Amino acid sequence: MQEKVALVTGGARRVGAGIVRELHAHGWRILLHYRSSRQDAQALADELNALRPQSVALFQLDLLQTAQLPELVAAAITNFGRLDALINNASSFYPTPLGKISEAVWDDLIGSNLKAPLFLAQAAAPELTKTGGAIVNLADIHVERPLAGFPVYTIAKAGVAAMTRVLARELAPQVRVNAVAPGVNLWPENDTDFDAAERARILATIPLGRNGQPQDIAQAILYLLEAPYVTGVILPVDGGRNVFL
């Protein structure tokens, strides 16, 4: 039996790299997409290909270039001959205070978080139908309780949740579509929005008493990929924080 193949967007660093490592450890082959983190992407591919030769391939693309998204699917077929899973992980995240929202930040946040995943899912659907595959999107627990100061990001992730349910219906029964909704995971890089006091306050609202780690999200994604009777689900991966928000 051929090893299954996953396309992971934004897979070079942070949560994306955790997803790639977890899937690879369970026998998946990976088309690892990146936008600008070429050095990190290459280092991760080299690391994993040393463990299992020719199991990870790279593809660079700005996902806002919608017309080029089918090239990602074609690259999976060219490198591995099939596609079994699409993981829409790539995301932009930054504040957009009301009164200062511009079309540029709208296009970037909606484009990276919602538009690109939808058009990429559309491009991948024919191949996933052939393999009985699955899509897993990255939503956010703040879809239900908006994060102050981040309205455009929150709107985009609310769209991801709706898109997940819509695609689950549209692509059934051949393709299952689910999402994970992370809570606090890795803090944003160059972070000026969550100081030490705010981080401590947030940590105090997490019943399991710790921030999440990339492996927590990756393990939830692996479950959704392997659960044959689960579709249209938005699975919180937040240590129980959604109970207290």
Residues that are catalytic: 153
- The DSSP line for 189-227 is TT--SS-HHHHHHHHTT-TTSS---HHHHHHHHHHHHH-
User: Where are any strands of DSSP class E within the chain?
Assistant: 5-8, 29-34, 56-60, 85-88, 134-138, 176-182, 234-237
Distance CA 118, CA 134 (A): 14
Distance CA 139, CA 159 (A): 9
The number of C-alpha atoms within 13 Å of 197 and in the hemisphere containing its C-beta is: 0
Distance CA 144, CA 215 (A): 24
Distance CA 26, CA 245 (A): 34
* Residue length of the chain: 245
Nearest to 138, CA basis, from 205, 208, 193, 216? 216
What single-letter DSSP state applies at residue 64?
T
